[in-house]
Amino acid sequence: MTAITRSRAGINRARDYLELTKPKVVALLVLTAWVGMMLAVPGLPDLITLLAATLGIGLLSAAAAAINHVVDKRIDAQMARTYSRPVAKGRVSAAEATAFAFSLALLGFVLLYLAVNALTAWLTLASLFGYAVVYTMFLKRATPQNIVIGGLAGAMPPLLGWTAITGEIHSHALLLVMIIFAWTPPHFWALAIHRRDDYAKVNMPMLPVTHGIEFTKSVICLYTVLLFIVCLMPYLVGMSGAIYLVGSAVLNLRFMQYAWKLKFNADAGTAMATFKFSIVHLMVLFLLLLVDHYFKVSPIYVS
Ligand code: HEM
Ligand SMILES: CC(C)=CCC/C(C)=C/CC/C(C)=C/COP(=O)(O)OP(=O)(O)O
């Protein structure tokens, strides 16, 4: 083996391990955790705590994703979207991926416990357990409500960010969790409509498989309305201001428009376009929360 082929093999291996961590998903999870950290205090949070919490929450999320690859090895190998994943294809063995996941989890937990606080460490570990064990091992295979209940784990990062900075669970952080909780079903079911046959082939009881595509489209419409209402809460409780209110209304009206098109006027690409928009929606929504936090126009009271 020449030095060039050796280094190419090394790069491919590193790429496989990176893929195990679902890096784009983890990036968005970490963004939502950051927003939780920034909104927890009036100015900027302590930089060292911010960095340690970012790394810790990222490592535990990545570990959860890697465990998901191991547990789903068999079904991933049979679905068009996932068949070439590193564990499904055997490029990384289940034992190697498990050891990788446990190393990341241990590192993340110790970092959070020692450099952030015990509450955040335990809550983040509970989120890992919620996704990797409760959702992936049990719910996913048991009920079409799998992603509604399992979605709670993925919705936790803003709370994890908040507790990292303050050491306390605050109702405002729970509002951010509720936003992601309401966002997850339209996010996932849009993709599940597009991939319905894949899920049916491996007997996964996803909503479009168990209740049909038309029913799933109706429920997506209802969830986008619910999401619109939940997204008003930060404004209504005085946590966020006008920038957020206007921005979130525009984003949610657009999401509802996608859902409407999916239900009543879909073409072959609408489900996938709705799924892709859901990701932009959540990213921009959380950036808006951040911008609003720092540029919020405070009401002027005249005494
Ligand atoms: C139980 C909850 C969730 C389910 C079942 C779910 C499901 C999925 C699925 C099946 C994909 C496609 C992955 C692929 O093609 O490899 C995906 C992509 C994605 N999800 Fe979710 N998701 C959930 C929660 C979340 C959360 C909470 C976030 C972030 C806050 C998120 C962010 C993303 C992103 C950024 C992608 C695009 C990844 C890429 O393009 O590689 N998801 N999701
Ligand atoms: C510590 C913490 C915050 C943990 C949360 C971890 C996490 C990675 C949540 C994301 C949810 C997600 C990508 C679900 C898809 O799983 P799937 O098995 O339905 O999708 P797949 O078929 O693409 O694997």
DSSP codes, 123-146: HHHHHHHIIIIIIIIIIHHH-TTH
Best residue among 25, 76, 181 to mutate for probing ligand 1, ranked by most atoms within 8 Å of CB = 25
pLDDT at residue 146, as a whole number: 97
Question: What ipTM is given for this predicted complex?
Answer: 0.96
Q: Which residues of the chain have pLDDT under 50?
A: 299-303
Cα(26) to ligand 1 centroid in Å equals 9
CA separation for the pair 131, 149 (Å, rounded):
10
Contact 71, 137 (CB under 8 A): yes
pLDDT at residue 298, as a whole number: 55
**Exposed/middle/buried for residue 173 (C-beta within 10 Å: 0-12, 13-18, 19+):** buried
pLDDT at residue 302, as a whole number: 42
Taking the CA of residue 205 as centre, how many other CA atoms within 13 Å lie in the half-sphere pointing to its CB? 12
Cα(242) to ligand 2 centroid in Å equals 33
Ligand 1 pocket list (CB less than 6 A): 24-25, 28-29, 32, 81, 135, 147, 150-151, 154-155, 180, 184, 187-188, 191, 279, 282
pLDDT at residue 297, as a whole number: 63
pLDDT at residue 5, as a whole number: 86
* Nearest ligand 2 atom to alpha carbon 153: 5
CA separation for the pair 179, 279 (Å, rounded):
13
Q: Going by CA atoms, what residue is nearest to atom 11 of ligand 2?
A: 154
Q: Going by CA atoms, what residue is nearest to atom 40 of ligand 1?
A: 24
CA separation for the pair 225, 273 (Å, rounded):
18
Closest of 178, 295, 289, 158 to residue 228, by C-alpha: 178
Identify which ligand lies nearest to the alpha carbon of 146: 1
Cα(286) to ligand 2 centroid in Å equals 19
| Cα dihedral 142, 69, 58, 14 in deg (nearest 10) | -170
Identify which ligand lies nearest to the alpha carbon of 24: 1
**Tokens coding 125:** 């570990």
Cα(188) to ligand 1 centroid in Å equals 7
